[in-house]
Amino acid sequence: MRTFIAVFPPPEVRETLLRAVHDLSTRGNVRWSRPENVHLTLMFLGDVPEEELAPVRDVLTTVSTRHEPFEAETSGFGAFPSAKKARVVWAGIGKGHNLLRALAEDLENSLEALGFDSEGRDYRPHLTLGRVRGRPARLELPKTTAQGLRFPVREVELVRSMLGEAGAAYSTLATYPLSESGDQGS
């Protein structure tokens, strides 16, 4: 089953971001995300047979106890690889960026022992809001409309992704609360 580890902001944050991104000036065919699908991917695991998820669950239990809950805040819109040749439209994270990065790195390092590959690049926390179909799109990205939306990061989720004609549908397999006494320094 296709799986990943993620943080889902509250519905009102996701909906506000999607409303704001629809106001962007876009030249190209962008398929916007559904609100329920907007998330921060911490690590993509790929196809993992259900019988091999038990050790992943154990790692998630352990890693979540090492991190305390925190606040995150959006910091504006962006695009990969660039606004002039956009393939992915996203909202960035300002406040909480380093804590999300530490959580993602801890997950990656801990899961490498189980045979999961490292991304091989620095983790850049972002909320994917749309993907471009066909030729890259050209976007005009204002800096102000997606800034300052705060949300709590209290848990991480192990998520199953099922691809279909209407796009991906996600279902949470398990939730792992961050520890109020996380030992991030150790």
Q: Give the catalytic positions in this structure.
A: 39, 126
Classify burial at 54, counting beta carbons within 10 Å of its beta carbon; exposed 0-12, middle 13-18, buried 19 or more: exposed
Strand 25-32 with 88-93, pairing = unpaired
DSSP-derived secondary structure for 70-124: EEEEEEEEEEES-STTBSEEEEEE-TTHHHHHHHHHHHHHHHHTTTPPP-SS---
